[in-house]
Chain A
Amino acid sequence: MKLNVENVSYSIGAKLIVDGVSLGVEEGSFVGLVGPNGCGKSTLLKNIYKVYKPDSGKVFIDGKDLAQLSNKETAKEMSVMQQENNVEFDMLVFDMVMLGRYSHQKMFGTDMVSEGRIVKDALAEVGLSGYEERSFLSLSGGEKQRTLVARALVQKAELVILDEPTNHLDIGYQYQIMNILKNQDLTVFSSIHDLNIASCYCDKIILMKAGRIVDFGTPEEMFVPEKIRNLFGVDTEVNVNPHTGRPNIVFYPQ
């Protein structure tokens, strides 16, 4: 297992948000975390990427206890992509991506030529070659998000956590970002809102409700009308997407 979460609980105030969650993510797999708003997806992910400290339970990457690692060591194991963050101070796209190299650079004597090459390669990977000298704040939403993907890629961590990365993007950008990530040789653990995107890209789906994991398995096993109804309270019909062969969820209005 690349990522192991063992019995993690976390409460905000008196409210238990994450209730004894255990899960595993296999090396090289693309795992989606699906559940209604407020079910604790984001809080669980924040416990994994150390913005929150679990009240109880442990998180392991490759068998290493994350609580024992410094932020710098953690950054080399795991990169994180959140929703486009509000940046008050503008900077160049190149510099923005370079910040992802922080954990690999020393205070003195870093080879900036090879660091620059890594940044340019990552920008090429996300289709932003030639954007190096552009101002980050002048980019469109999709371009900003791709810049952040590049920043996560240059971190050269084998595990990438995505905390609802494509929520506010239009459908074209959502598929574009997922494609980029799917094509990397990475283990990905992502919370996803759009069930069809989850179905299309994920090897495994984890269903979460009210702070607990209710089920997990392949998209074919998880995306059946009863389970979706139980989770979101919506009636659906599931057929097979003729292009991908994956489950295709069609929603029925009430």
Chain B
Amino acid sequence: MEKRKTALFPLHKESHFLIFCILMVCLMGIAMFTAMRMGSVEIDPDTIQGILVNKLTSREYYPVTWEYSLESIVWDIRTPRVFTAFIVGAGLTMCGILMQVLTKNSLADPYVLGISHGASAGAVSVIMYGYLWFLGGYGTMAGAFLGALISITLAMKIASVRKKITATQLVLAGIAVSALFGAITNLMIYHTKTGSDKVKTASYWMMGSLSGSSWEKLKYATIAFLVCFALIMLLTRQLDVLMLGDDVASTVGVNTDKLKLMIILLATLLTGVIVSVSGPIGFVGLTFPHITRSIVGTKHRRLVPAAVLVGGTFLVVADIISRVIVAPEELPIGVVSAFFGAPFFLYLIRKGNKKAGG
């Protein structure tokens, strides 16, 4: 038989993979620094460097030559925002990977499955009716987590036919669940808020935005992200096996029930936390696992860290675009990510059809 060499993914060698990660870290740094400079006020690099170093060392390492207002823009507004963008992008990508392993379907992601909208509804209900007051600052997140948990259960129930999840069912389930929870969110907002406030909060909880970023929220999100990341890195081998299907995974030795429960908990926790800081931002969890997979392969030990870097960096860039393109106004970041993600989604569906057809 003739041997065909098929290039499945270009970066086989471990050293190439490392170089890719290092390059991505550099790109991430450049994107973050650019994001700090750009916006309604453009700030020169020296000033940013001065402010950051002074703040981080809590000393006047660089003599203060800038206005106090700039310091506030850089440190209180842009820095948390840039890092939030990265964490949100990275976290959504990680959720996407988890959902895709869970459903064995590359179309799955928290937004497509309607889980982001479930989390939104949960967060809004807490904000509007305040029933989780005893949790203090964590109340919104807890609400979002609960909303995510309810919607993932619903979506998985609708999507699975005889214990199998088909692509069509998955997409349909997602449409139904996001429509339902989107409607609930709008109902709650229009029920409680008044005037122009309505439109603003509604668009925030439907489209997502990073304009509400703060150090406080960033702190929670970062902790949640790092904990989930660490746990997922411990599960990478089991995730690899689970891709083969539940039956195969269990005969190879994986406790699939426990693993799937773990995946659902991690994915909903992450989605909840992320949606509570940024609202539902679509298509990140769909696009970047797929792109990264085609570069570094399907093994999760490589895929997860690489995809996290790619997805996080993308959202930092998307955030720059959202602030620059209609300046001095700001576009919801969900609009930008949808412009990139939606065509990609269509491409995946078409590709899936072709595969099924021939």
Contact = CB atoms under 8 A, between A and B. Distances in A.
Nearest to B4: A138
Interface of B: 3-6, 8, 12, 100, 104-106, 234, 237-238, 240-241, 243-245, 247-248, 250-256, 293, 297-299
A70 B254 CA distance: 9
15 contacts: A51-B251, A71-B253, A71-B254, A74-B251, A74-B253, A75-B251, A89-B106, A91-B297, A95-B297, A102-B237, A130-B3, A133-B5, A133-B12, A135-B6, A155-B252
Interface string A118-142: 0000000000001001110010000
Interface residues of A, number: 36
Main secondary structure of the interface of B (DSSP, over half): loop
A92 interface: yes
B253 A76 contact: yes
B289 to A, nearest CB: 10
B251 A89 contact: no
B104 A88 contact: yes
Contacts of B253: 71-72, 74-76, 102-103
User: Which one of B248, B250, B251 has the highest number of Cβ atoms from chain A below 10 Å of its Cβ?
Assistant: B251
B234 A135 contact: no
B4 A87 contact: no
B321 to A, nearest CB: 31
A175 B238 CA distance: 33
Contact of B298 (A70, A71, A90): A90
A46 to B, nearest CB: 8
User: Which one of B238, B244, B250 has the highest number of Cβ atoms from chain A below 10 Å of its Cβ?
Assistant: B244
Contact of B6 (A51, A70, A138, A155): A138
Contacts of B240: 95, 99
Interface stretch (A14-22, A78-86, A207-215, A243-251): A78-86
A82 B247 contact: yes
Contacts, number: 90
B9 to A, nearest CB: 9
Given A88-B105, A130-B3, A133-B12, A107 B251 contact: no
User: Which one of B104, B245, B247, B299 has the highest number of Cβ atoms from chain A below 10 Å of its Cβ?
Assistant: B247
A89 B234 contact: no
A50 B252 contact: no
Contacts of A133: 5, 12
B251 A87 contact: no
Contacts of A100: 252
B244 A85 contact: yes
A79 B253 CA distance: 9
Contacts of A90: 8, 298
A56 interface: no
A49 interface: yes
A63 B237 CA distance: 31
Nearest to A95: B299
A80 B4 contact: no
A184 interface: no
B353 to A, nearest CB: 14
A231 B299 CA distance: 46
B240 to A, nearest CB: 6
A85 to B, nearest CB: 5
Nearest to A50: B250
A102 B12 contact: no
A116 to B, nearest CB: 13
Given A76-B253, A99-B240, 7 more contacts: A49-B251, A71-B254, A79-B251, A85-B244, A89-B243, A95-B299, A107-B237
Interface in A49-77: 49-51, 70-72, 74-76
Contacts of A92: 8, 297
A103 B252 contact: yes
B251 A50 contact: yes
A-B pairs with lowest CB-CB distance, top 9? A75-B253, A103-B253, A135-B8, A80-B251, A72-B253, A135-B6, A138-B6, A89-B298, A91-B298
B254 to A, nearest CB: 6
